[in-house]
Amino acid sequence: VLSGCGVYDGTEIHEASAVLVHLSRGGAEVQMYAPDVPQMHVIDHSKGQPAEAESRNVLVESARIARGKIASLAKLTTADHDAVIFPGGFGAAKNLSTFAVDGKDCKVNREVERVLKDFHKAGKPIGLCCISPVLAAKVLSGAEVTVGHEEEEGGKWPYAGTAGAIKELGAKHCVKDVTISFPAHVDTKNKVVTTPAFMCETALHHIFDGIGAMVKNVLKLTGK
């Protein structure tokens, strides 16, 4: 499930690509979806500032990553899939929810909420990385997730404050690294698998490997 195209206002492209590579390597058949809604705003990624006069659609922008092969999130059903994965990027906190603005008081896009609840009820695994675990924390009461460490540690974990918000949402935060063994957290009860990814300032290949651990555990939980 994508949330646009670009880290500051949509899906983190490297994370989406890593998810797709690891799913392909795992032999999974993939279908991509995104909500057909306007973005919260558009960021000029060369400046890191809002482009005031622009507006974009989440589904249309996500189609860039999907190479055009994408459908509206409204069409996603548990009956057609064994698992669902949400890459990160600020689109998860801006377009799939209002977390970027409202924090613990955020609202989740109704289709995103439906998908999370439906997969959870069906006992089918849910994978999330980077900032997207906040979606599960909000929707699935008591879920265990990770966004990495809970202290900034000299800038290595610049978004460490997110862990506190996750706790306020009623979820359990589990400290995980990106660069060591077992960089993904598996909540076996709720079948929720999370990894920090770009919540950490580290080399790209470490993030790629962490996402691989998340994907591998999601596929394992499908039992196929």
Report pLDDT for 181.
82
Q: How far separated are the first and last CA of the chain, in Å rounded?
A: 21
> Quick one: which of 133, 163, 152 has its CA closest to 201?
152
Report pLDDT for 182.
83
Number of other residues whose CB lies within 10 A of the CB of residue 117: 14
Architecture of domain 11-220: 3-Layer(aba) Sandwich (3.40)
| Residues in Cβ contact with 184 at an 8 Å cutoff, skipping those fewer than 6 apart | 146, 176, 193, 194, 195, 210, 213, 214, 217
pTM above 0.95, yes or no: yes
Report pLDDT for 18.
98
| Residue numbers annotated as active site | 130
| Cα→Cα distances 130→12, 16, 67, Å | 9, 11, 23
Note down pLDDT in tens along the chain; length 224 residues.
999 999 999 999 999 999 999 999 999 999 999 999 999 999 999 999 999 999 999 999 999 999 999 999 999 999 999 999 999 999 999 999 999 999 999 999 999 999 999 999 999 999 999 999 999 999 999 999 999 999 999 999 999 999 999 999 999 999 999 988 889 999 999 999 999 999 999 999 999 999 999 999 999 999 98
Three-state SS annotation for the chain: CCCCCCCCCCCCHHHHHHHHHHHHHCCCCCCEEECCCECCCCEECCCCEECCCCCCEHHHHHHHHCCCCEEEHHHCCHHHCCCEEECCCCHHHHCCECHHHHHHHCCECHHHHHHHHHHHHCCCCEEEECCCHHHHHHHCCCCEECCCCCCCCCCCCCCCCHHHHHHHCCCEECCCCCCCCCCCEEECCCCEEEECHHHCCCCHHHHHHHHHHHHHHHHHHHCC
